[in-house]
Amino acid sequence: MQLLKERILSEGQILGDDVLKVDMFLNHQIDVALLDEMGKEFYRLFENRGINKIVTIESSGIAIACMAAKYFQVPVVFAKKGKSRNIGDDLYISSVYSFTRLDSYLITVSKKYLSGKDNLLIIDDFLANGHALSGIMDIANQAGAHIEGIGIAIEKAFQGGGDRLRKKGLDIQSLAVIQSIDNGKITFADDQTEKI
Ligand code: 5GP
């Protein structure tokens, strides 16, 4: 998605060799118009697939998932991080290793909101090694739900999670795919656009 790639190049900040900060439009301040376009694009990619629910993880996935949900006209369920008292014990639980925090955390979804009848689109902000997605997929599997597709805003292809999960037969569509970050230069997979 050209609009997203342009924003990454003009406003993204690179930390070290592999972390991209996009706090100014996605992860802290939110550009609602941009996210609306992203939601529309996910709808174009996955419409007519019988999706009845969108699932994501708090917190950064929620805004993107809601924008997409507006087009699909379906509810969003977000996995909560850490076991929470007020949701009750009737939970699907999985563990996710965090690439940015270098630690694992639990994610939970109430059994009320996912079941074997659901045909899911999973949405998240970043795909790196695939741990976050694997956690949500584990929860979807516990519920017996079908995973129809996965929509990612920014995939860092060089970390390999996308390839590994696609080999399992998952339909993953990423709006911007970063092939490499090298000395502060971003190269996208489908063109040679670079940021220095
Ligand atoms: P994975 O589990 O695929 O290794 O990493 C995906 C999760 O880690 C995402 O949900 C996102 O929150 C976080 N993440 C991974 N890489 C980055 C990055 O470069 N920038 C930001 N802002 N978050 C990232």
Q: Write out pLDDT tens, residues 137-147.
A: 999 999 999 99
pLDDT at 190 over 90: no
Q: What pLDDT score was predicted for residue 85? A: 60
Cα–Cα distances in Å, from 62 out to 67, 125, 174?
A: 9, 9, 16
Enter the pTM of the model.
0.94
Best mutation site among 98, 99, 131, 177 for ligand 1 pocket (most ligand atoms within 8 Å of CB): 99
pLDDT at 152 over 80: yes
pLDDT band at 191 (very low <50, low <70, confident <90, very high): low
13 C-alpha to ligand 1 centroid (Å): 14
**Nearest-CA residue for atom 16 of ligand 1:** 128
- Return the percentage of the chain with pLDDT > 70, whole number: 94
**Nearest-CA residue for atom 23 of ligand 1:** 126
CA atoms within 13 A on the CB side of 31: 14
161 C-alpha to ligand 1 centroid (Å): 11
Best mutation site among 19, 126, 152, 166 for ligand 1 pocket (most ligand atoms within 8 Å of CB): 126
Q: What is the mean pLDDT of residues 171-177?
A: 98
Q: Write out pLDDT tens, residues 56-106.
A: 999 999 999 999 999 999 999 999 998 666 555 799 999 999 877 789 999
Task: Tell me which residues have their CB closer than 6 angstroms to ligand 1.
Answer: 19-21, 27, 60, 99-100, 124-132, 161
**Average pLDDT, rounded, for the chain:** 93
**Nearest-CA residue for atom 24 of ligand 1:** 126
pLDDT at 41 over 90: yes
Which CB contacts under 8 angstroms, 24+ apart, belong to 22-31?
22/154, 26/60, 26/63, 26/64, 26/125, 26/153, 27/60, 27/125, 30/63, 31/7
